[in-house]
Amino acid sequence: MSDPLNNSPKKDAIEAALRIKSKRSFPDSADSTNREELSDEKLVSQVVNGDSAALETLYDRYASTVLGISLRVNDDQAVAEDILQETFWRVWRYAATYQPRLGSFAVWLFRITRNLVVDLHRKQNVRPQAARYTDYEDPDIDQTPDPDANVAEQAQSLLKHRQVRAALTALPTEQKQVLEMAFFYGMTRQEIAKATGEPLGTIHTRARLALQKLRRELEKQEFEG
Amino acid sequence: MDNRIEELLPFYALGALTDKEREEVEAYLVEHPEVRAQIEEMEIAASALPYSASPVAPSDRPKKTLMARIEADQRAQSSIRREESRSRSTGTRNWFMRIQPSFISALSLLVAVVAMTLMFASNREVSELRDDVTALRSALLAQESRLEQLNQAVGEVNAKLPQTPPSALKTFAIGGTENRPEAHGQLLADPNSQSAVLVVSGLAPLPSGKIYQIWLIEGDTPKSAGLLKVDALGQGVSVLTPEEAIASYNALGISIEPEKGSQQPTGDIVMLGKFD
């Protein structure tokens, strides 16, 4: 399969937008009128001090990705939006526990979402549909524009989505399947072996190879988490 | 590297191990820190997976609900801080005064009477004043049950005062959790003593068969500190006499339990306060 990302004129447009206005290049000004320009880490520190407007900015920045993660497992939009709300409520309550040295805010945020999704999935005891595992083939993404999100941030987010999807297209379907079952559904290796009918050793190998391959492909895509 | 650990590592990075397996990996990492680099590489790949899900713009509902929830939380926190600030500025005596003005008025009068007794020790009126003291004591005893409860609470704290300077008394704010954000309260105690007074408000009366239970938390272990009844206005007072000094606990919580109480918290935690 050709790499639609690298040949896409959309990529150039996105990167151009990012060059004009990248949130990583903004100074950490404490000016509340320019919250949208503050780094995630600066906003989190304001949330720790009880600034709800800072949380709102983080929400606008990441809500569509968080909802996407939730909808990955739950078809019910209302349930997925409840998870979205609960995710940011936990950011509000536990912002003080975030430690930048252990990873970016986005990684921390998505881990909260993922844990909520997995908990709900386990409570509902729903088995994933096989068809869901193989929908990475087209890295083109249909994204409904979020009217609350900053244009440059949307562009940056879209670029990350494209990079990851493009990286995943390089993985064999059965490896992607293991990643999907383990990460989004929180299935243990034994559960995956049972669901796929493969020996446990095969699942171990697939998981290891999948992560190694994905890491290499992300590097090729110049993905910055 | 241990074969089993090698098998577990990818699932550790993906967050898909059982609790026991995760503990096994973490114990191994303590002894073999060189393996961390391998895990970090895997975690970089795993942490990119959320971006494989298509982003979807949410409706207005979650944001509105979230911000309303945060506003309510801020109001509750602000209320607790105001209460705490008032406690600090007015001192222990005024703290009790807010709890039960009528009781404090009576107590103040009693103190005044005793003071006057000392001033006029040689006076013939001493006997009359003693009569007044007796009468006031009788009046106190005649107070309704809530007042008696407070009297007992104050008595127990006062019993500690000769051994401990007043400055040793501390007030700890106890806030409502997300299950009862409107609840707030205070714990008055000398941290080195084994007695304390807990006053709460904003706790809705419970249906038949349920009761609030107080827990003093030592490390991760909650220890029952008694049951708590609240009146129709959601207010309650309890004297705690734990087995160990208050300082040996790091938090106080209140949960909803079956009416006879539980060995360990089983219901919703409705209030929580740390002893920082």
pLDDT at A16 over 60: no
CATH of the domain at B257: 2.60.40.200
**Are B45 and B92 found together in one domain?**
no
**What pLDDT digit, counting tens, does each position of B21-53 carry?**
999 999 999 999 999 999 999 999 999 999 999
Residues A215, B42: C-beta atoms closer than 8 Å: yes
Is B24 a domain residue?
Answer: yes
**What pLDDT digit, counting tens, does each position of B64-77 carry?**
999 998 988 888 77
pLDDT for the residue B231: 77
Number of residue pairs across A and B with CB atoms under 8 Å?
A: 163
Residue B276 and residue B274: Cα distance in Å, rounded?
Answer: 6
**Are B79 and B98 found together in one domain?**
yes
DSSP B234-266: S-EEEEE--SS-GGG--EEEEEEEETT--SS--
Query: What is the chain A residue with the closest CA to B59?
Result: A81
**What pLDDT digit, counting tens, does each position of B139-156 carry?**
555 545 455 555 666 566
User: What are the structural domain ranges in chain A?
Assistant: 1-128+142-149, 170-225
Instruction: Please choose, from the candidates A74, A148, A75, A66, the residue with its C-alpha nearest in 3D space to the C-alpha of residue A109.
Output: A66
**Are B176 and B270 found together in one domain?**
yes
Query: Residues 126-145, chain A: which have Cβ within 8 Å of B?
Result: 136, 141-145
Rounded to a whole number of angstroms, the distance from the CA of A133 to the nearest CA of chain B is 11
Rounded to a whole number of angstroms, the distance from the CA of A152 to the nearest CA of chain B is 15
Band the pLDDT of B137: cuts 50, 70, 90.
Answer: low
Residue A33 and residue A30: Cα distance in Å, rounded?
Answer: 9
pLDDT at A171 over 50: yes
Share of chain B above pLDDT 70, in %: 69
**Interface-testing mutation among B1, B14, B24, with chain A (most A C-beta atoms within 10 A):** B14
Q: Say if CB A195 and CB B93 are below 8 A apart.
A: no
Rounded to a whole number of angstroms, the distance from the CA of A221 to the nearest CA of chain B is 12
Is B248 a domain residue?
Answer: yes
**Are B111 and B203 found together in one domain?**
no
| Assembly ipTM | 0.79
Host domain of residue B156 = 65-160
Q: What is the CA radius of gyration of chain B?
A: 27
Establish if A71 touches chain B: CB-CB under 8 angstroms. Answer: yes
Residue B181 and residue A18: Cα distance in Å, rounded?
Answer: 42
pLDDT at A87 over 90: yes
Higher pLDDT, A134 or B210: B210
pLDDT for the residue A10: 46
Rounded to a whole number of angstroms, the distance from the CA of A1 to the nearest CA of chain B is 18
Is B58 a domain residue?
Answer: no
**Are B194 and B243 found together in one domain?**
yes
pLDDT at B115 over 80: no
**CATH T-level fold of A170-225:** Arc Repressor Mutant, subunit A (1.10.10)
The CATH class of A1-128+142-149 is mainly alpha
Q: How many domains does chain B have?
A: 3
Residue B203 and residue B182: Cα distance in Å, rounded?
Answer: 8
Instruction: Please choose, from the candidates B215, B240, B243, B196, the residue with its C-alpha nearest in 3D space to the C-alpha of residue B92.
Output: B196
Band the pLDDT of A180: cuts 50, 70, 90.
Answer: very high
Q: Say if CB B198 and CB B181 are below 8 A apart.
A: no
Band the pLDDT of B125: cuts 50, 70, 90.
Answer: low
Establish if A82 touches chain B: CB-CB under 8 angstroms. Answer: yes
